Structure 1
Amino acid sequence: MKLAIVGIFHETNTFAPGITEMNDFARESVQGNELFHKRYENTRTSMGGIIEAARFDQVELSCGIYTAATPSGMVSRDAADALFALLDSSIDTTADGVIAILHGAMVAEGFPDVEGEIIRRIREKIGYVKPVAITLDLHANISRLMVENVDILVGYDTYPHVDAYERGMEAVHLLTRTLRKEIKPVCSLAQPRLLIVPQVMLTDEAGPMQELMDRAFAIERDPQVLNVTVAGGFPYSDVPDAGVAFVVTTDNNQLLAEQYAEELSLMAWGLRERLKCQGYTAAEAVSMAFAEQYGPVILVEGSDNVGGGSPADATHVLKHLIGIPKKCLIVIRDPDAAYLAHQLGTGAEFHAEIGGKSDNLHGAPVPIDGVIRLLFDGKYTHIGSYMTGQLADMGKTAVIEAGNLTIIVTEKRTAPWDPGHVTFVGLRAIDFHAIVVKSAVAWKTAFGAICTKIIPVDTPGCCGENLLHLDYKLLARPIYPLDSISNKEDSQ
């Protein structure tokens, strides 16, 4: 038995500045069995899970293109066409089935539903007899086109995402069982017409998302149910299907799948008031952080969430950190400042403006007077629980100290998914009273174990908490909370 593996992975923020081009996918692009195994074997990634499960199930893998880019703005039409061409040419049509590793919230010029287009092209290549499985991120915007053209859909169960490996394994096991005719998967999709922000999608803390997940796990204990996927959606993609969705897969029982999916949809609708988020102004948050007796206090600058496609150079918090009374750490992307630091050298004085150079939404540059303490090439390997073993690259990186403020300046946007982005530049997160994270929730895989208090910051940005500030044009309406809806039936 042979399974073809392909993947194109990108979370697209259509409100973010800039365009995502083909070169943005170059940092994570492999093709062929040898390279695929060398890069991902023994890593806690979806790809690592697929490799391990294939070995366990005694099936052969035929690895086509897998490529990914850091979340960012709209993917260009040229990049989309090039990616589709790579996909088309790399699918092994002799394989017995296909697994596609996808995000679920990828958008390109001319293609509001990239994953749907990818699945359509896979079907065009292999037909409708061979089974297709896909893995999706918890922030997927799931379309009916996706669900209707796959046999198996497996989404992450965790946020922060620490189960990509397990979900990759699950997809393989379900696909091989399908090929061996042990099961006959059927899927049902339900969308409650809710748009929520990542900050309320936590699955490791008591709250509405955990309650939805607990009910999903209970449903999965039904012997006829093969998988339940709870997707929080990605509100920063302006596409028709953005928002919360549920996909239930059963063993040849369509009616049961529909009943369970609708049950979860109604449950989410009942939780809608609790699926809201509110933060503090930058000035309030900074003042609160330094009033705390113990740290590290985490200042969550979710509006500049790198994992959501933001530019990573917002300065709304940074400008309040000059002359602070206790030690604070912040990571800012600024290629110009990083290059300047590398030219000046370790130990040199640094006098320049940092951040605020991508657009007007994320603040203005902030003058910094400090000392360059360390220079780094930016390459490291994930050492934490999120995709352990995954390679990362911050580009040219500099550590600049300005009084009690330590700034890690990077050439490339880097999400705080792993403690390595701090430890590999010679710093210890535990030494700082406050840490500013450009993230919504995923920072917990780096700092969750050591933080003493979490302070959400509500500042302008393309990943802001207040969705009413975003100018949606393609999103299907009505949808809560953008529209006034008195009951679930009114949202249909």
Structure 2
Amino acid sequence: MSSRKRKIAVGGIFHETNTFAPGLTELDAFRGEWISGMDAFLERYEGTRTSMGGVIEAVAALGAELAPGLYAAATPSGMVASAAAEQLLVEFIDSIDAEADGLVIIMHGAMVAEGYPDLEGECLRRLRARFGDGFPIAMTLDLHGNISPDMAELADFIVGYDTYPHIDMFERAVDAVGLLVHLIEGDIAPVRSYVHTGMLITPQAMLTTDGFMKELMEAAFSLKSDPRVLNVTVVGGFPYSDVADAGMTFVVTTDGDPDLAERCASKLAGMAIGRKDEFKVDYLPPNEAIQAALAFEEGRVILAEGSDNVGGGAPADATHVLALLVGVPKQALIVIRDADAINSAITAGIGGQFSKTIGGKSGHMHGEPVAVQGIVRHLFDGNYRHRGAYMTGHQAFMGRTAVIECGKLTIILTEKRVAPWDPGHILSVGLDPKDFHLIVVKSAIAWQTAFGTYPRKVIHVDSPGCCSANLSHFQYGNILRPIYPFDSEPLPRYRVYES
């Protein structure tokens, strides 16, 4: 770096939008993590294994000056309301320091709002309008982003997570800062090759520690061994956003070599398309899944109810599995969001009798309310910090929480939707996963960062819901065709961009 101290801005708007989920996501959904200014940014993120923590550490290590703008995030949910999106965009763009030498923008990649099917692309367009085409921008993205051509063109670098479950957002943010500073100093000339594979892949097929996705990631890592390759991003996509660019994409960034970037991206796309059938997922209907779990004598079974995946925008109150667990003969655990039922539990008090219909209040897709009777065993304010590998140190909030014991079925009732990303999800209410024969998780794969050492068997459940692994449940209107699995032959789309 030169002797002049560089100023690196950071901020972002983070939301994974499920356009099939019920309801609109309003601005209030972002208020739980609406962080602006240096003091608030450092207090919230310094020392955490988050993207924001990675930027803080990397900027400090390089001797640069950090300039935090607005960072706002909401739990995955339905379409973002137009007014909320507009306010987020305006406040974020205005918050970026006009004197910054470059920007790291932390986004998900699958944010959709009314009027903005590609909100990340719209955000980049507005940044370019304010700061110009020559302003260095590095964008970090979730592995479940839907990368549009505009995103690939308008960001100098797109740096995606390499892991699912996601445990490397800190490291990828460090990478983004390093690349950004090299560009600021004029050491590199990034060229990006973008390929959309023409395939919709479900999250259950994107596990990066095993199977074909692991092979695909390893192929990407091997390409990075060439010093001319600055970054390789493999993005599995988010099939629950019904937008034109939903699906698996690759972005390869090289130092001034468009032919090399295109060859690398084409190699990865060819590998993925050629083995597309390896992305298929096996699952069982709820009744068969529960019977298989109970028949597994060794116990410690995970029933992954991916159709109600909180991390994918689902409401967390689906009852297709819950309804079949009432009276279960072996110890079972499930988490259900129901703010109204929480009030009843608090009224009953610890040790009190609980009798109420719970869940099933988000529409027909997620089932009907289920009558349960039990005893209130614990009440909790819902605050805890992540202690596992995912975003270690991050503050989590379930809202008011109650533990209801209904015979051998234990129900954790939460006021807020919270994904099972961390063991604190269970441990914070005084429960031990090892005490249960089966645990239902409202998740596709990310539950592994909370229960990775627990299961001896995993069963994926095929129930209705806005995050179902069975994509035939959905009526798409905006995805570009042909696209796999709805069409037999994917149609890949290629672009090359220079900064």
Give TM class, smaller chain: over 0.9
Which segments of 5 or more consecutive residues in structure 2 lack a partner in the other structure? Answer: 1-5
Partner of 1:357: 361
After TM superposition, the structure 1 = structure 2 runs for residues 372-383 of structure 1, keeping only pairs within 5 Å, are 372-383=376-387
Partner of 1:172: 177
Partner of 2:423: 419
Deviations 1:230-251 (A, max 9, x none): 0000000000000000000011
Q: 2:198·2:492 contact (CA, 8 Å) conserved in 1?
A: no
Partner of 1:159: 164
Q: CA deviation at 1:278?
A: 2.4
- The counterpart of 2:289, out of the listed 285, 288, 296, is 285
Q: CA deviation at 1:225?
A: 0.3
Aligned equivalents of 2:365, 2:66: Cα separation in 1? 46
Is structure 2 residue 238 aligned with structure 1 residue 234?
yes
Aligned equivalents of 1:274, 1:242: Cα separation in 2? 19
Partner of 2:78: 73
After superposing on structure 2, the runs of 4+ consecutive aligned residues of structure 1 that deviate more than 4 Å are: 487-492
The one-letter amino acid paired with 1:184 is: A
Aligned equivalents of 1:184, 1:418: Cα separation in 2? 40
Is structure 2 residue 183 aligned with structure 1 residue 182?
no
Aligned equivalents of 2:205, 2:492: Cα separation in 1? 24
Partner of 2:488: 484
Partner of 2:253: 249
Aligned-residue Cα RMSD (Å) equals 1.3
Which segments of 5 or more consecutive residues in structure 1 lack a partner in the other structure? Answer: none
Change (3 A) 1:96 1:490: closer
Change (3 A) 1:60 1:491: closer
Aligned equivalents of 2:364, 2:297: Cα separation in 1? 35
Is structure 2 residue 45 aligned with structure 1 residue 40?
yes
Q: CA deviation at 1:34?
A: 0.9
Partner of 1:60: 65
Is structure 2 residue 447 aligned with structure 1 residue 443?
yes
Q: 1:301·1:439 contact (CA, 8 Å) conserved in 2?
A: yes
Q: 1:2·1:97 contact (CA, 8 Å) conserved in 2?
A: yes
Q: CA deviation at 1:484?
A: 3.1
Q: 2:146·2:238 contact (CA, 8 Å) conserved in 1?
A: yes
Q: 1:278·1:465 contact (CA, 8 Å) conserved in 2?
A: no
Query: Structure 2 length normalisation: TM-score?
Result: 0.97
Aligned equivalents of 1:444, 1:394: Cα separation in 2? 19
After TM superposition, the structure 1 = structure 2 runs for residues 290-305 of structure 1, keeping only pairs within 5 Å, are 290-305=294-309
Q: CA deviation at 1:490?
A: 11
- The counterpart of 1:337, out of the listed 325, 331, 341, is 341
Moved more, 309-318 or 290-299: 290-299
Is structure 2 residue 278 aligned with structure 1 residue 261?
no
Q: 2:197·2:492 contact (CA, 8 Å) conserved in 1?
A: no
Moved more, 287-296 or 243-252: 287-296
Q: 1:13·1:309 contact (CA, 8 Å) conserved in 2?
A: yes
The one-letter amino acid paired with 2:463 is: T
Aligned equivalents of 2:298, 2:132: Cα separation in 1? 60
Is structure 2 residue 423 aligned with structure 1 residue 430?
no
Aligned equivalents of 2:337, 2:238: Cα separation in 1? 23
Aligned equivalents of 1:188, 1:371: Cα separation in 2? 58
Deviations 1:59-81 (A, max 9, x none): 11110000100000000001001
Deviations 1:117-156 (A, max 9, x none): 1111111121111211000000000000001011111000
Partner of 1:314: 318
Deviations 1:215-260 (A, max 9, x none): 0000010110011000000000000000000000011111111111
Aligned equivalents of 1:78, 1:191: Cα separation in 2? 30
Count of matched residue positions in the alignment of Structure 1 and Structure 2: 490
Aligned equivalents of 2:346, 2:394: Cα separation in 1? 26
Partner of 1:26: 31
Aligned equivalents of 2:408, 2:342: Cα separation in 1? 20
SS at match of 1:26: helix
SS at match of 1:110: coil
